[in-house]
Amino acid sequence: MTANTATGRIATGVRLRLPESWLEIDPRVADLSGEIVRALAGHGADTAGDGTVAQAVDPLVTELRRLSARTDVLLAGFYSDFVDGGSDAVQVFTANVTIALSPQIQDGARVRAEIEREAVAEGLESGVHALSGGPTLTTWGRGQLVRGGIEVFTRRFHVPVPGLDQVAVLAFGTPNVDFAAEFDELFVSIADTFRFVG
């Protein structure tokens, strides 16, 4: 995944290496759910019938809409795996990633305090993780999506953009909270491939 964003002062790009099983999605399309379902169908997923796929993509669509209201969403990616559990039950595993660029900030300490306050309000933990660009504020834990009350595990990295008064938010999520530890290990390994370019 690579994206470029231009500002009035400089052009900045980001690069993130997703596993081959993840799909890249254009976050600007009007019908995000339909776009994801079509992409999954193109990769061999059975998207007909019972609405399982639409339900599985809802957390990503909700997160993208939430982010788009306050930031510039640059990239989005989606993972899904449908496992036959027997007795007509299908276990659905999904996860998503987004990269969004914050509005211009004036006071980094105030923004950090605001991020930590929001994390507490959402019931998330916060700490520092060392990415390639240096120490990065991260928040993580289980929370509720506003729409539908779906419980999700989320991890967000708030990365200062070199040369700009902005923050790139690298956000991961999955509704498979029983497998949060396994997904979180994957999320951190993907985040470790994050780079600013250009």
Q: Chain-wide mean pLDDT for the chain?
A: 79
3-state secondary structure 158-191: EEECCCCCCEEEEEEEECCHHHHHHHHHHHHHHH
Of the listed ranges 37-41, 74-78, 100-104, the one predicted with least confidence: 37-41
Tens of pLDDT along 51-93? Answer: 666 677 777 777 777 777 777 888 888 888 877 666 556 677 8
pTM (predicted TM-score): 0.81
- Which domains, ranges and CATH numbers included, belong to the chain? 2-197 (3.40.1000.10)
